[in-house]
Amino acid sequence: MDYFLTEEQVMIRDLARQIAEEKIVPQREELDEKEEFPWDIMKVLAQSDMFGLFIPEEYGGLGKGCLELAIAVEELSRACLGVSTTYAANALGTYPLLLYGSEEQKKKYLPDIAAGKKLVAFGLTEANAGSDAAGIQTTAKLEGNEYVLNGTKQWITNGGEAEIYTIIAMTDKSKGARGASAFIVEKGTPGFSFGKKEKKMGIRASTTRELIFENCRIPKENIIGREGMGFIVAMKTLDNSRVGVGAQGVGVAQGAFDEAVKFARQRVQFGHPIISFQAIQHMLADMATQIEAARALVYSVARYIDSGAKDISKASAMAKLFATDMAMKVTVDAVQVMGGSGYMREYPVEKMMRDAKILQIYEGTNQIQRNVIGQALIKEAAKKK
């Protein structure tokens, strides 16, 4: 399929693919086994300007958009979802600053992020606030010229590795979602520490930790936007980044599909390569069709976001929902095509299937995506009346 990418977009895709094939594929099994953070790969991505893709040129980035980011994420995900999660979560953590940061904040933080010198993490989730994002308990109290943060964030991607954290905390609990605010917290701030590193089913190259705030004092200027805007900052951030999770789905599914085709051409049963059997061909045909449909949706939604469209929640949720449900199905089917071999760690599809599961869960479960889409449909229907 031709998605009419510009010359520049093709260059980004080819560069990301080259990094994926040369640097990620040879290491992915070991990174998964040892649950190691891929610092050397992050350095290569930094040297290749990959961290600056979606950051405006005035802050040291390349000034590209969601589509270019999605293309890069897809290619990295094709090789290893753990590595691509580290990279994509950096964008997730940066969106609050990009969308709502002040000029001073952007000038202070974005150039280092664009250069890949500092990684970012996004801190919304807590033990009792997952799908119910408005239920967060972490507080931020204004005392003089400082906010004092108290509480614990859970399952934070890049936690401990990142230097910059965009954190959602309650400045006025009595106001519910309207009492949340967003803040920048730097690693090393007294009162800010990290909990245990989680042991996960998949995406093991990516680090997941607790963030602990105990009377952590940050300058008043570190608020992003105004008090009470935190929930909107979080929701708009997710609206922008969920299409990237969709791109991860397309990438991991493509990676698993490629492995399944390669295997089916080589594996001989009943005197023939199994790819000659209709049962296998039909599975591969369905997989290829589903991947292409998801890619078409992800690219279209990314272009729609880049067009400056305001109402992107529904489209972004659709891209995330469709592409990640597809990724789960396609990776499971890739294991099935490869049979016993697919189940063995010797082949990468076993890891791809484990990795794919998180896509249906993080950045809002796929049940939450259906809620977001449902709510948008209700609003649209009410407008038509």
For position 178 contacting ligand COS by CB under 6 A, the verdict is: yes
How far apart are CB 30 and ligand COS at their closest, in Å? 26
Binding window for ligand COS (CB under 6 A); candidates: 106-114, 129-137, 194-202, 342-350 = 129-137
The residue whose Cβ lies closest to ligand COS is: 364
Angstrom distance (rounded) from CA 226 to CA 101:
10
DSSP H or E run through 185: strand 180-186
For the chain, how many residues are written? Answer: 385
Crossing angle between the packed helical segments 278-306 and 66-79, to the nearest 10 degrees: 150
How far apart are CB 308 and ligand COS at their closest, in Å? 15
DSSP H or E run through 143: strand 139-143
Candidate list 13, 17, 197, 236; residue touching ligand COS; CB under 6 A: 236
Candidate list 164, 253, 328, 372; residue touching ligand COS; CB under 6 A: 372
Cβ contact 180:148 at 8 Å: no
Question: Is 158 or 313 the residue whose CB approaches ligand COS more closely?
Answer: 313
Candidate list 67, 124, 305, 318; residue touching ligand COS; CB under 6 A: 124
The DSSP secondary structure of 85-125, one letter per residue, reads HHHHHHHHHHHHHHHH--HHHHHHHHHHHHTTSS-EEEE--
363 catalytic? Reply is yes
Q: Which of residues 350-369 bind ligand COS (CB under 6 A)?
A: 362-364, 368
Where residue 136 falls (left for φ over 0; alpha for ψ -120 to 50; beta otherwise) is beta
DSSP H or E run through 334: helix 313-343
Candidate list 44, 134, 275, 288; residue touching ligand COS; CB under 6 A: 134
Please return the burial class of 385, using the count of CB atoms within 10 Å of its CB with bins 0-12, 13-18 and 19+.
exposed
Q: Which of residues 204-233 bind ligand COS (CB under 6 A)?
A: 231-232
Candidate list 90, 125, 181, 290; residue touching ligand COS; CB under 6 A: 125
Contacts of 274 (CB under 8 A, 6+ apart): 264, 267, 268, 280, 337
How far apart are CB 242 and ligand COS at their closest, in Å? 8
Question: Is 19 or 136 the residue whose CB approaches ligand COS more closely?
Answer: 136
How far apart are CB 115 and ligand COS at their closest, in Å? 25
Contacts of 26 (CB under 8 A, 6+ apart): none
Catalytic residues: 363
Which residues make up the interface to ligand COS (CB under 6 A)? 124-125, 131, 133-134, 177-178, 231-232, 235-236, 238-239, 313, 362-364, 368, 371-372
